[in-house]
Amino acid sequence: ILNVEQSPQSLHVQEGDSTNFTCSFPSSNFYALHWYRWETAKSPEALFVMTLNGDEKKKGRISATLNTKEGYSYLYIKGSQPEDSATYLCAFYNQGGKLIFGQGTELSVKP
């Protein structure tokens, strides 16, 4: 069974705070690590797809890093805004050919 673990499960921050959360995945047979943003009543939308150890991706105030040797990825949000409130999902793709999602980190940003 492939386990993708995300922590924390939920996070409450004030507007302007910077925050980060973690995705842990099996380090063997790694192909890709995806991050998705899922707002309430909408569909998940892709943020990043990372495939190489040491990859760093950035989109506005959001960035992500990848360590395939130890099996983790971090997602950072700089200066959180209320519109960043969403569930952030990571998903792991390995040689088996399946994209397996973690349970997500629910972020709430208070004005």
Partner 1 sequence: DAGVIQSPRHEVTEMGQEVTLRCKPISGHDYLFWYRQTMMRGLELLIYFNNNVPIDDSGMPEDRFSAKMPNASFSTLKIQPSEPRDSAVYFCASSRDTPGATNEKLFFGSGTQLSVL
Is the backbone peptide bond immediately before 26 cis, with ω within 30 degrees of 0? no
Angle at 58 between CA 57 and CA 60, to 5 degrees: 165
Q: Is 59 in the site for partner 1 (CB under 8 A)?
A: no
Q: Which position among 54, 99, 108, 110 is part of the footprint of partner 1 (CB under 8 A)?
A: 99
Q: How far is the CB of 72 from partner 1 (least distance, A)?
A: 18
DSSP string, 20-53: EEEEE---TTEEEEEEEEE-TTS--EEEEEE-ST
- List binders of partner 1 among 15-44 (CB under 8 A): 31-32, 34, 36, 42-44
Q: How far is the CB of 46 from partner 1 (least distance, A)?
A: 3
Q: Is 71 in the site for partner 1 (CB under 8 A)?
A: no
